[in-house]
Structure 1
């Protein structure tokens, strides 16, 4: 366990190649994010959604001296959802986000700000993972590092490395990202965007001479490296995968001690020491009387501002709105939203493609997987990657004498849809049968003391999917959404509403993208209301022309 915010590496950050603005530097600068005209202080701004993007945006708007009004139909946190096991309030299941890379420097700023600790997450073959069992085609291999696996797996890892270097100029991009050398980074990445926008992840592999073997592609898809299997990403654009690889998003990940939902909850209750306009001790929770407003059901343009209708029928007017809700919710559940966007932007919203994802958790009496098999001397059970229905099983404990958490199954897309109609108990039965085939003689059920707890994000009415993942050819849509905060050239009727959240970011499913797009929206609101960043600490919009994502021909 470490008390530093994610154990930050000075070499690499999630400084994305599409828009390599240093959000971590902007946040850390003593000048702050900007200043408002005095007559705008205290002005209300609606924030639709109380996930990490919405709470980040609201917190920074509060610091600037505005009055953010958060609308959230559920609990603060969104997909940063930590659910306690019944009867065990100190033990939780991470239903959405559960692991974060050390390169997520903007996220780390807030983790540090509210005093949360982190610890390494036991991914497959991670240094903190005692053992990893790979189960493919009915054959099992126990390993602690890649070298322990048969040569086939090492060949696959080597093929992936060579493909990245030969087909994606990994070495050049890695060096430019570490040095924050924007010129080289943009020149190489912009060319790759034009070349690869129409290429799926599987197509990228299939055209590589290093993945000429179907068996190598199959093994890579089922096991992968870092966080595990990759085949659920095979239909998606390879650009999404390359972004994650380049920024180290899948390496050396950590979890937040006590549950990731503590981060948005603590930001909600945190009183910034340097807030403009507000008296000392003012927090988001205090401004809201402890609870956010209910779900937004309607949006409309009223004069120079907006009317927001909530589920209680209350209508409030605001000079600006930040929308962090999932796009599927925005386009299907919010009346009047279509009129607030251009036809091109609305098409991009409609085309947002989501991944499905499901998880199944139980609480067990102790980390019994640390017991040794007397016949082999090896642990009786290990972190597991398999081609069977569970796909991946994670083992999480706080010591030998305490209850421990098992994420029995974490699946995506087709694998998630297989269990979507099943109850938690039915999912448990299916999963335990599969694990019994892998670990005959290990009675997992006898150790369960609470649960099962499960989620299928595609069935969650306030989300309708797990996270955005672009398909081939979607780069132009993604660019429209990401750059929506730049509104100086937009007609007046298109100004004042700002999109944020990981749907808008280049790295869907990662909290860092949610946080950084929230900061883009904060910059947009600041400028829309007549303020601006300070000259010695320019914001993302001030440097947009230098860092702008490449515009492909329409």
Structure 2
């Protein structure tokens, strides 16, 4: 585990790889994808049938790719650019150097995602997380005091106390050891038993509330250090208002450890699915790709969605109107409220309420390109690198360093912030952001002149000001479990009124692990199952899909009255 603090799994009996299997809906999407029988089939009469896919991010393109393989004709609508929050940006004059503006690190436990990474033949390398085994050093700068360490054992005793407090809280109040072993064994009854006990107990509890009620975190100072330093990828105090269930999902499934990055940029995954020509595809000739079905271009932004008889009418920004027997909506939830004129009949009333209650995390990043990875120069006073991966309570919050060799340019993520910290930067221009971030880092590294090494204009983003996103990703607040269950289970439409059939939600907003690409993949596959079923198809007898086994592993339902 690459946690900045200690490994809370130390007492677990390990019996297999940790994957993002559950805990809410323990379905093996990786096994479903790998089965030689495929994801199913549709009647020959449905071959070539058009299905609208709204949103060209990872979830939308996984949906479209798998529907194409089944012999359907997905029609992808995208308002901006393919990739969604898998957005890799080149620096001016240096197309080979990439800044990852959204997603940038992926856990090996995301086996559904890595199915597609491997299908596309993409290469990954270790991500330089704080105190990770491939990170040369980490500087933790809190309250004006800096500590350098290569491993967590080199941090002061107070940090180890916080690590022990976190491990103790997880084992005593969240049954981490037992859940860890159950997920590794894919022991569905045990996973469900533990999680179904914890959901009603913790649904109304915030992350901070969980910590403050744990005897091991009685000290405010410990909670403050943990908020700034955290586990895995660093400080998590911006998540303190969120539901503790959100945090446990990440911890249980290893989503925040041992990360990999995609060499050349993670946007290659959605772009690769757009161009990829699968070996086995129903109905379509060999060599068919999503790009070829679209003549190389997606349809533009959707402006109107309506129901006409049994079909759905979609109008796009060009004015063109098309009708489809099924629609998959894979953009962010709030688009349905603000950017698209929607018929009320698209969703049942309780699902509309869940869409309204969606809560997004804000996030900003600032990247620069340097002449070389100068941070690896030796400081003559300390004998260490002149700069390191940095966690701080100052404005930058997180500084990440990407080194592709001494003779190549270096990429620096000078600032990675969330929520309130992101809002501090949102109104600043690019030049203003660079100035205040460099001034802040000067307090930590007074003898390092970062600006002198910058060789291209910086690049930046604030996701809450992006018009087609309005936030980085969803994160549930305490009491939001019921809303999230409505969204995730929407693909099961057998008990809905017929007027709601055939419109499916997908994307990490709909998943139990928003902000993680694996959730985007899983909900895309749920939508694929839903479309296949809606069009009269079925899964392979030996390879049941998520809807086929839903009743046995459904997320626990909490009472509402």
Q: After TM superposition, list the pairs within 5 Å mapping 1:10-21 onto structure 2.
A: 10-21=16-27
Number of equivalences: 546
| Correspondence for 2:549 | 543
2:110 corresponds to: 104
1:227 is paired with a residue whose SS is coil
Match status 1:178 vs 2:184: yes
- Residues 164/312 of structure 1: CA separation in 2 closer, same or farther (3 Å cut): same
1:247 aligns with 2:264: no
Deviation at 1:231, TM superposition (A): 0.2
Instruction: Return the alpha-carbon distance in structure 2 between the equivalents of residues 11 and 114 of structure 1.
Output: 23
Inter-partner Cα distance in structure 2 for 1:450 and 1:506: 39
The equivalent residue for 2:479 is 473
- Aligned counterpart, 2:242: 236
| Paired residues of 1:354 and 1:466 also in contact (CA < 8 A) | yes
Q: Give secondary structure in 1 for the equivalent of 2:457.
A: strand
SS of the aligned residue for 2:336 comes to: helix
User: In structure 1, what is the Cα distance between the partners aligned to 2:340 and 2:516?
Assistant: 25
Counterpart CA distance in 1 for 2:46 and 2:221 is 62
Partner of 2:412: 406
Q: Does residue 194 of structure 1 match 2:187?
A: no
User: 1:391 and 2:374 equivalent?
Assistant: no
**Cα distance in 2 between the residues matched to 1:395 and 1:55:** 30
Residue 217 of structure 1 corresponds to which residue in structure 2?
223
> 1:363, 1:265 → 2: CA distance?
24
1:74 to 74, 80, 87: 80
Q: Which of the residues 41, 46, 50 maps onto 1:40? A: 46
Q: Unaligned 5+ residue runs, structure 2?
A: 1-14
Aligned residues of 1:330 and 1:337 also touching (Cα < 8 A):
no
Which residue is equivalent to 1:148?
A: 154
Deviation at 1:337, TM superposition (A): 4.2
CA distance in 2, matches of 1:309, 1:46: 11
Once the two structures are superposed, the pairs formed by residues 345-364 of structure 1 within 5 Å of their partners are: 345-364=351-370
Normalising by the residue count of structure 2, what TM-score does the alignment of the two structures yield? 0.97
Q: In 2, are the aligned partners of 1:361 and 1:451 still within 8 Å (CA)? A: no
| Structure 1 residue 121: Cα displacement | 0.2
Distance 1:34 1:427, change over 3 A: same
Given the alignment of the two structures, is residue 163 of structure 1 paired with residue 169 of structure 2, yes or no?
Answer: yes
Contact residue 345 and residue 500 of structure 2 kept, 8 A: no
Distance 2:373 2:339 in 1: 44
Match of 2:143 in 1: 137
Out of 30, 37, 54, the position equivalent to 2:36 is 30
Corresponding residue for 2:427?
421
The answer to whether residue 489 in structure 2 is matched with residue 483 in structure 1 is yes
Structure 2 equivalent of residue 519 of structure 1: 525
* Structure 2 Cα separation of the partners of residues 405 and 514 of structure 1: 27
For residues 338 and 98 of structure 1, what CA distance do their matches in structure 2 show? 36
Matching residue of 1:371:
377
* Contact residue 41 and residue 65 of structure 1 kept, 8 A: yes
Tell me what 2:94 maps to: 88
The alpha-carbon deviation at position 418 of structure 1 amounts to 0.4
Cα deviation digits, residues 218-240 of structure 1 (max 9, x gap) = 00001112100010000000000
Determine the C-alpha separation between the residues in 2 that align with 1:325 and 1:73.
Answer: 10
Superposed displacement of residue 489, structure 1: 1.2
Partner residue, 1:327: 333
TM-superposed CA distance for 1:63, in Å, is 0.3
> 3-state DSSP class of the match of 2:399?
strand
The separation in 2 between residues aligned to 1:469 and 1:94, in whole angstroms, is 21
- For residues 20-49 of structure 1, give each alpha carbon's deviation from its aligned partner in whole angstroms, at most 9, with x where no partner exists: 000000000000000111100000000000
Question: What is the DSSP-based 3-state SS (H/G/I as helix, E as strand, rest coil) of the residue aligned with 1:449?
Answer: coil
State how 1:439-518 maps to structure 2 within 5 Å.
439-518=445-524
Report SS of the residue matched to 1:450: coil
- Structure 1 unaligned regions, length at least 5: 1-8
Provide the rounded CA distance (Å) in 2 between the counterparts of 1:362 and 1:48.
33
CA distance in 2, matches of 1:313, 1:550: 43
Contact 2:130 2:390 in 1 (8 A): yes
Shift of 1:101: 0.1
Preserved CA contact (<8 Å) 1:119 1:254: yes
User: 3-state SS of the aligned residue for 1:153?
Assistant: helix
Do 2:16 and 2:185's aligned partners in 1 also have CA atoms closer than 8 Å? no
For 2:79 and 2:505, the matched residues in 1 are separated by 18
Considering only aligned residues, what root-mean-square deviation do their CA atoms show, in Å? 0.8
Q: Which residue is equivalent to 1:5?
A: none
Q: Match of 2:298?
A: 292
User: What secondary structure, in the 3-state scheme, does the structure 2 residue paired with 1:32 have?
Assistant: coil
Contact 2:104/2:261, CA 8 A, preserved across alignment: yes
Q: CA deviation at 1:526?
A: 0.2
- Assess, with a 3 A threshold, how the Cα gap between structure 1 residues 337 and 144 changes in structure 2: closer, same or farther: farther
Q: Deviations over 1:345-393 (max 9, x none)?
A: 0000010000000000000000011111111101110000000000000
Cα distance in 2 between the residues matched to 1:12 and 1:92? 30
Cα offset, 1:451, TM superposition: 2.4
Equivalent residue runs for 1:262-273 within 5 Å: 262-273=268-279
Q: Note if contact 2:100-2:266 (Cα within 8 Å) is conserved in structure 1.
A: yes
SS in structure 1 opposite 2:341? Answer: coil
